[in-house]
Amino acid sequence: MVGWSVAQAVNLALSAILASRLLGPHDRGLMVIGATTASIAALVAGLGASHALRARLPTLDDEVTRVRLVASYTWLSIATTVLGGVLALLACWACGLAIDAALAAPAFLAAVLVATLGQIALVQFPDAWYADGRFKAGSTWAAGIAAGGTAGLVLAAILLTRTAEALLLGQAAGMAAVAVAQTAHLHSARLLLLSRPDRRELSRLLRSGVQSLYLTVGLALALRADRYILGGVAGAGVVGVYSTAATLSEAPRVLPAAMGQMTYRKVTLGCGRSEVDRAVLRAVLASIATGIPVAVAGWFLITPVFGPSFAEARPLLLVLLVAELLFAPFAVASRGLLGGGWMGAAGVVGAAGMGSAVVLFLAGARERGAYGTAWASVLLYAGLSAAALILLRRRVAARPDALLLVDADAAVRAGLDGKAASVPASQR
């Protein structure tokens, strides 16, 4: 899973590097805002159903109930594509009024609409694989969608004009093409079913999922609000430079994110607090090991690769790498909260993060522009990690001993469907 997650991150970073080289700061900033709008719209439209599926599917033994649950999730995913498209268009049109009129141009809106479809596939499809314990399949297809986006961007640069809307459309079309191919495999695995949905399962998915929205959407805004606020304060050109540094700084997030996905299932199956602590420690060490070479390479290569107009991205990268190190515990702990079904606690962290992000980013952007925004990320990520980790450790420790697995690592490797092998505390 880590290997395919690295492949996904490499393709996303490569797409960002190519776009920055081809477009320049202003158009690159427009593309970033459009792609960000598509990703947030996809999260909101999904109503947290993917997290509700992951918390419930591993606990089911009855095949009839399983089929009803999967069918309900399938129809919710179809509805997500419609709602997500509408939300993305409205949000991008509003950004056109507040940031840059080019964001509301018809051609750009069309590109954002297609990008939203690709982002919905990245949200809904991998979680279906993960819910069934098939981490390799989920991460492989997620990497495939990212690779499709890179290929589409390259083709658009060759066949179309080198504008923000053309490259965004090409990237989105490549992602959507791989997503369409994935649907056949999900259907074969009985994780995408068009049979009649069950009202009770639909209601349960929505009730549980909506609670998680505060975390998922709050996290998305906390991680991406800097682009919007900085764009409103300083313009799209500054966003282009800042986002180049931000994209490179996210490389250390790959391994902690993969560990978070594994922790998600371990907590669902009943792991103990010691396993959570080990996962957090590994995530921090992985972030350090990845961040150091990124800092060195970025410092020496940003200006030669992207040109003098991106020179300010070098010091920004160093600050944002510090933020990523502080983000590593959150990448694990937030997933653990969702895996345990503690949607309310996760929602509190997400809502607090969303509110804090607006305040910190607005203050930072107004005082020191891109640098102030970067330092605001440091403070925000530290607070998110502390809050999520404290809540997760308390919730895991408070569970009855009978729920704890003997070896959650082995359970996840075996792809158990939720039948936790529990033993009394006296025998462990």
Residues of the chain with pLDDT under 70: 1-2, 4, 211-212, 214-215, 218, 400-428
State residue 199's pLDDT score. Answer: 83
pLDDT per residue as tens digits for the range 120-135:
887 788 888 888 888 7
Rounded to whole angstroms, how far apart are CA atoms 111 and 120? 14
Spatial CB neighbours of 287, under 8 Å, sequence gap ≥ 6? 252, 253, 255, 256, 324, 325, 327, 328
Using an 8 Å Cβ cutoff, are 53 and 133 in contact? no
> Among residues 146, 153, 176, 165, which one has the least CA distance to residue 81?
176
Outline where 24-105 has alpha helix (H). 25-46, 49-56, 63-98
State residue 381's pLDDT score. Answer: 92
- Rounded to the nearest 10°, the torsion over CA 95, 101, 103, 109 is 110
Q: Show the CA angle centred on residue 138, arms to residues 394 and 323, nearest 5°.
A: 50
- To the nearest 10 degrees (0 to 180), the angle between helices 49-56 and 254-269 is 50
- To the nearest 10 degrees (0 to 180), the angle between helices 2-23 and 135-159 is 20
Using an 8 Å Cβ cutoff, are 317 and 292 in contact? no
Rounded to whole angstroms, how far apart are CA atoms 131 and 126? 9
Give the predicted TM-score (pTM) of the model: 0.67
